[in-house]
Amino acid sequence: MKLKLAIRTEIKVVVAIFGLLALIAFTDKKREGIVCKDIAVRLENEHENHFVDEADIVYRIEKSGQQIRGASFDEINLRLIENKLRQEKHVRRADLYTDLKGNLIATVELRRPIARLVSESGPGAYVSEEGIVMPVSERYTSRVVLVSGAYVRTLLAKGDLSKFDEGKALLEMINFINDDRFWRAQVAQIDLDEQGRARIYPQVTSQVVEFGPMQNIEEKFNKLMVFYKDILPQKGWTRYSRVNVEFQDQVIAE
């Protein structure tokens, strides 16, 4: 009895597979000869990245080196267009497909900027949460922490912070700041010297924070919190111009 039941189940699975294949073949047959009438963009932008909009995506599709509108879908290389869209630094993911009404549909997910690189010799750039260096835009500015200093040249040249140790350390530091409500509001700028040693400029208090190497990040921010909560209220908010949290078990205020 169990054997018969198993055979029947396998037969049903095979029939279902053949049915699905037949449906796909039927759908593909219906697509043959369909001409592209329009391009529709579905932009997934939960982080409000306005560096790229629907019109930009349509422009890039139309400038992909192929005729799009008026061309048969059989003649359009969707994979090639997807790859071109994914080369756009602000684009995290791009998928193209067609429907039976003659629409070419592009679903595009944008990257989230988490910091801005400020360069003395150029326009600078933004950094995505994955570490990708993205170009700035004349029409939109994202309110994120600023990263300045001599080491920015190295970050711009690398292009992807996740590919080297100092870049990973900076990403960890920025993510730590962004994940904490207080530090996200307090840290305005991170300045990096030639060796990648950090100095923090705060939003509210006037003390420059000598952070040192981007190591033991949580420990250093905990010491800085002690300085803000326990020392400044007693000694006065304007008494010190500089605080150093670089060294283990020490907070040095000047």
Check residue 31 and give its pLDDT: 53
CATH number of the domain that 106 lies in?
3.10.20.310
pLDDT tens digits, one per residue of 160-179: 999 999 999 999 999 999 99
Three-state DSSP at 243 gives: strand
Residues 183 and 197 in one domain: yes
pLDDT tier at 23, thresholds 50, 70, 90: very low
Residues 60 and 149 in one domain: no
How many domains does the chain fold into? 2
- 17, part of any domain: no
Check residue 123 and give its pLDDT: 81
Domain that holds residue 103: 38-110
Q: What is the mean pLDDT of residues 123-146?
A: 91
Residues 119 and 238 in one domain: yes
pLDDT tier at 13, thresholds 50, 70, 90: very low
- Distance separating alpha carbons of residues 92 and 90, to the nearest angstrom: 6
Q: What is the mean pLDDT of residues 101-130?
A: 92
CA atoms within a 13 Å half-sphere pointing along the CA-CB vector of 107? 4
The mean predicted confidence, pLDDT, of the chain is: 85
- 66, part of any domain: yes
Q: What is the mean pLDDT of residues 221-233?
A: 89
